[in-house]
Structure 1
Amino acid sequence: MLDLTKLARQMQGMSQHMTREAEAARDRLERAQTLFEEAQTHQEELVRRQARWVHRIPFNAATPVEPLDRRPAIQTPPEAHTVFASDGSQIAPSAHEIAYCYLLNVSRVILHYGQSRHPVLDSVPEIFYRPEDLYISRQWGIRTEEWMGYRRTVSEAVALAEIGQDLLVIANNALPAPTLALVDGSLIYWFLEQLPGEARDRIIEPILGAWELLRLAGIPLLGYVSASRSAETLSFLRFQACPYEEPNCLHHCPDLGTVDRKGRIKQAPCQVCEPLRDGVLWSSRLEPGHRSPLWQSRSRILDLYGSHSIYFCYVNVGLEIARIECPAWVAEDSRLFESALGMTLAQVYKGYGYPVALAEAHNQAVVRGGDRSRFFALLEQEMIRAGLQNVGTSYKEARKRGSIA
């Protein structure tokens, strides 16, 4: 049981710490704004420096592909358009349950506007119990629980591609209205960096295959990142803050990231804005309904993406600064990109601060506590019907579910 009285004493010190941090954040923001103004006049030179020294810098900085002072308003979408999304949830495997298995529940949400068509709100569950599903990842040192999460990401992408294909078939290969595929979260799958090559291929290849089907269908794909913690655009300003003629970090700042005798992490002269985040910077520069310039992410994991490299921008959606990501084929088609942004912003307004299609996709996919209990009760009935003996949870699990206190 949580002792709130003891906890309240600790919160007093925490609030004082956060007040000091807020003051420091204001100072960092002022420095970032100054650097941004200076970078606007040297943008081409900074991009050239980045391209030349990209292999000698240890930080991840995005590249602007539009003028830094570009902050256009997002266009209003047409009355008739379609937005679809998919999300996933799971029941993790447990050795204390009646059977060692896991379940993925992937939602399918299609919302039509101005077309007198009914929405689609459903989900597709799938249970994994075969040895090749449960133990294949262990050859790469990956726990089954982790592999389940990766499989869920694949299932969500495949579901989007299937929805797009179904819409094309219904429309006889000619979509009647602009259509958008939305993803909750980033399209840059950072977890791929830590995976062995063979395991990584099993995840990224079906995802890119699904994206390719959307590209062929002419359906833009956007990833909506709420409360982004990224600092890729601020990292670009480090080239402006660098005091050296050449931004050769490995030569000028060889001890970057090491810890001194007082336990402080050594920083480079260009890290004057850290730990400020992109969202804070763009909140001071964007009016509601406007977007930042387009940026190309330079994350090293994107080397695996081929023609689907990721671009992004920041959008003031009214209540927050959202990061919007898209594959290269969307960013390179300005008409498609601007249309997709318009439909996304309309989704945010309809959802009172968050895209309604993504909220509904989550609600359709989420597996609640009652669902979990009913799943294992149904599984128990099926096992008993099949003639299996001694079906039940472990003594530990049964004891935890009933307390004597």
Structure 2
Amino acid sequence: MLDLTQLARQMQGMSKHLTREAQAASDRLKAAQNLLTEAQKHQEELIESLNYWVDRIPFHPAIPIDQLDSCFTIQAPPAAHTVFATDGSQIAPNAHEIAYCYLINIGRVVLYYGQSRHPILDSVPEIFYRPEDLYISRQWGIRTEEWMGYQRSISEAIALAETAREIATIQGDNLNPALALVDGSLVYWFLETLPTEARDRIIEPILEAWDMIKVSGIPMMGYVSASRSSETISFLRLQGCPYNEPDCARNCPDFGQVDKKGKIKQAPCQISEPLRDTVLWSNYLKPGQRSPLWRSRSRILDYYDFDSIYFCYVNVGTEIARIECPAWVAENTEQFELALSIMLAQVYKGYGYPVALAEAHNQAVVRGGDRTRFFAMLEDQMIRAGLPNVGISYKEARKRGSIA
């Protein structure tokens, strides 16, 4: 039981801390705005400097494609267009349950606008129970529960690609403008810490799925809500560098080290950190506008087999969302702007969040009743197969029947 009296005393100290942090955040924002103003005057020089000193800079700033002072108004989408999305949910493996297995449920949504066609809303479940599914990740020191999450990302990408192929095949040459939406980032940050063989098993089928979407001629975008990225802030660090050459290894050799007081030493160019990109761009973008386009230089993109991931920030009215897309979308200006218009319309229709992504989540989510019925079906099948000692562990049974 939660002791609210003790909690209230702790919250008093927390409120004072947050007040100090709010003032510090305001100071960091002013510093970032000053750096942005100066960086606009030297944008090309900063990019050249980054490309030359890239091996001596330990952080990974994104590269601006448009002028830093640009704010673009997103146009309205065409009346007839199609939006589709996938999302996943799961039942995690539990050693105390009837059987050690896990389930991934992929929700799929296809919405047709101005075409007099019924939407598609369905889900596809898949059970993983074979030893190669459950224990293959152990050789790399990855828990089964963690591997299940990676498998879910693969299943979502494959389902999205298959949907794109179906839409392109059915509509043929008369394909109306369409958009494939992904919930979250297209930059899979978690891959960076994985062993090479494990990483290849995850990224290869995802990239193959993205190739299928590219072949279908349909643009793809990732919608990142409440982004914590600071890639554009990192670019401004080049402007904030007080040295003639941004040779971090020589100029700031103790950068990132911990001093005697336990504080991490910061370089002079970090005056605006840990400010997030969304906070900076919220002061420049009006509702319906996007920021300059940027090319990500995240280290994990070295494992992708195409140029890069591009992104921009969009004021969707309720928040500053980070919108990502592959190079083959960003480099086609007409396709990119059309995709952005459809994306923004989705946010308006969903009252602050893309309706296709919200509905895909609703199709995918596994509720408590679904979980109970799943294990009931599994128990019935095991009894029919003549397996002995079918049932949950005593620990699980005791927790479910607690007298407290």
TM-score by structure 2 length?
0.99
SS at match of 1:112: strand
What is the identity, as a one-letter code, of the residue corresponding to 1:103? L
1:192 is aligned to 191
1:369 is aligned to 368
SS at match of 2:221: strand
Distance 1:385 1:290 in 2: 60
- CA contact 1:167–1:175 (8 Å) conserved in 2: no
Q: CA deviation at 1:174?
A: 2.3
1:54 is aligned to 54
Distance 2:139 2:121 in 1: 38
1:82 is aligned to 82
1:290 is aligned to 289
1:397 is aligned to 396
Q: CA deviation at 1:308?
A: 5.1
Q: Structure 1 unaligned runs (5+)?
A: none
SS at match of 2:344: helix
- CA contact 1:86–1:107 (8 Å) conserved in 2: yes
Q: In the TM superposition, what whole-angstrom CA distance separates every residue of 1:73-125 from its partner, at most 9, and x where no partner exists?
A: 00110011000000001111111111010000001100011111000011000
Q: In the TM superposition, what whole-angstrom CA distance separates every residue of 1:200-227 from its partner, at most 9, and x where no partner exists?
A: 1111111111111111111000000000
1:215 is aligned to 214
Distance 1:397 1:273 in 2: 49
* Residue 231 (structure 1) aligned with residue 230 (structure 2): yes
Q: In the TM superposition, what whole-angstrom CA distance separates every residue of 1:106-153 from its partner, at most 9, and x where no partner exists?
A: 011000111110000110000010111111111111111111110100
**Superposition misfits of 4+ residues, deviation over 2 angstroms:** 173-176
What is the identity, as a one-letter code, of the residue corresponding to 2:94? S
Distance 2:112 2:173 in 1: 16
Q: CA deviation at 1:396?
A: 0.7
Q: In the TM superposition, what whole-angstrom CA distance separates every residue of 1:223-261 from its partner, at most 9, and x where no partner exists?
A: 000000000000000000000011011111111111111
Q: CA deviation at 1:175?
A: 4.5
2:2 is aligned to 2
1:279 is aligned to 278
2:251 is aligned to 252
SS at match of 1:293: coil
2:147 is aligned to 147
2:14 is aligned to 14
1:340 is aligned to 339
2:159 is aligned to 159
Distance 2:60 2:398 in 1: 49
- CA contact 1:208–1:308 (8 Å) conserved in 2: no
2:72 is aligned to 72
Q: CA deviation at 1:155?
A: 0.4
Distance 1:381 1:13 in 2: 54
What is the identity, as a one-letter code, of the residue corresponding to 2:280? L
- CA contact 1:90–1:367 (8 Å) conserved in 2: yes
Distance 1:324 1:175 in 2: 27
SS at match of 1:86: strand
Distance 1:369 1:2 in 2: 24
Where does 1:347-362 land on structure 2 (aligned, <5 Å)? Answer: 347-362=346-361
**Higher alpha-carbon deviation: 291-300 or 195-204:** 195-204
Distance 1:213 1:319, change over 3 A: same
- CA contact 1:28–1:273 (8 Å) conserved in 2: yes
Q: CA deviation at 1:388?
A: 1.2
- CA contact 1:128–1:134 (8 Å) conserved in 2: yes
- CA contact 1:239–1:270 (8 Å) conserved in 2: yes
- CA contact 1:60–1:299 (8 Å) conserved in 2: yes
SS at match of 1:322: strand
SS at match of 1:306: coil
Distance 1:58 1:67 in 2: 25
SS at match of 1:87: strand
What is the identity, as a one-letter code, of the residue corresponding to 1:313? C
What is the identity, as a one-letter code, of the residue corresponding to 2:49? R
Distance 1:308 1:394, change over 3 A: farther
1:38 is aligned to 38
Q: Structure 2 unaligned runs (5+)?
A: none
Distance 2:196 2:308 in 1: 19
Distance 1:376 1:3 in 2: 35
Distance 1:358 1:222 in 2: 12
What is the identity, as a one-letter code, of the residue corresponding to 2:302? D
- CA contact 1:310–1:328 (8 Å) conserved in 2: yes
What is the identity, as a one-letter code, of the residue corresponding to 2:360? A
SS at match of 1:76: coil
Distance 2:237 2:175 in 1: 46
What is the identity, as a one-letter code, of the residue corresponding to 2:245? E
Q: In the TM superposition, what whole-angstrom CA distance separates every residue of 1:251-273 from its partner, at most 9, and x where no partner exists?
A: 11111111111111100000000
SS at match of 1:307: coil
SS at match of 1:53: helix
**Higher alpha-carbon deviation: 132-141 or 80-89:** 132-141
Distance 1:81 1:30 in 2: 41
Distance 2:91 2:250 in 1: 49
- CA contact 2:255–2:266 (8 Å) conserved in 1: yes
SS at match of 2:205: helix
What is the identity, as a one-letter code, of the residue corresponding to 1:219? I
- CA contact 2:168–2:175 (8 Å) conserved in 1: no
Where does 1:77-156 land on structure 2 (aligned, <5 Å)? Answer: 77-156=77-156
| Length, aligned pairs only | 404
